[in-house]
Chain A
Amino acid sequence: GQNIDQPTEMTATEGAIVQINCTYQTSGFNGLFWYQQHAGEAPTFLSYNVLDGLEEKGRFSSFLSRSKGYSYLLLKELQMKDSASYLCAVMDSNYQLIWGAGTKLIIKP
């Protein structure tokens, strides 16, 4: 079957760095997405990786290793507004998104 694993919850301190991991087993691979979802709001797109390596976008970076079925989202200089759930999703061979359950990130002052 298809499976996406990510930690349920993480806690970090304002101003620090946090890494949210995602491992996957899917039938085919056409890219990996990270979305951010604040409580009661729509998920919003953060990043897309289809080739191995690191993609940097401001304070957020996303890494992919296709051979290991592994990705991480790195958040630097954490701000209180970064408190949210972070969803990992893999596009399978049929171009359907397979979703993880999300990681709830709690930022403490």
Chain B
Amino acid sequence: ETGVTQTPRHLVMGMTNKKSLKCEQHLGHNAMYWYKQSAKKPLELMFVYNFKEQTENNSVPSRFSPECPNSSHLFLHLHTLQPEDSALYLCASSLRTSDYNEQFFGPGTRLTVL
């Protein structure tokens, strides 16, 4: 595997379910990001991890819970979501969070909440 991978690619869940999104990067980067992408809206930064430490939490509801066990893996745990949470969830990585930090994206998980 190369680059940034995400699983699953598609997920349909009910509002009472618990599910997790997984992201893995094979680039040797130290920073990882979760974004939410809704139609015709800018990418919304949700969480940032730098060297496994969470450095940003942009007022994300507690029903989204991130986990970063090491610099290569990032999870987003989902619990009691709302229909408005339906979106494309993108994971990205970069060498670091300061200076020039070109971000490399995974293909995303298309989430539908019923």
Q: How many A-B residue pairs have CB under 8 A?
A: 49
Measured CA separation A87–B41 after assembly (Å): 11
Closest A residue to B38 by CB, please name it: A101
Interface size class, chain B: 20 to 34
Residues of B within 8 A of A99 (CB): 42-43
Query: In A37-53, which residues have CB < 8 Å from any B CB?
Result: 40-45, 48, 50
**B-side interface mostly:** loop
Residues in B lying within 8 Å of A, measured CB to CB: 4, 40-43, 45, 48, 56, 90, 97-108, 110
What are 27 A-B contacts with C-beta separation under 8 Å?
A: A30-B99, A30-B100, A31-B100, A33-B102, A40-B107, A41-B107, A42-B4, A42-B90, A42-B105, A42-B108, A43-B105, A44-B105, A45-B103, A48-B100, A50-B100, A89-B43, A95-B97, A95-B99, A96-B45, A97-B43, A97-B45, A97-B103, A98-B42, A99-B42, A101-B40, A101-B41, A102-B42
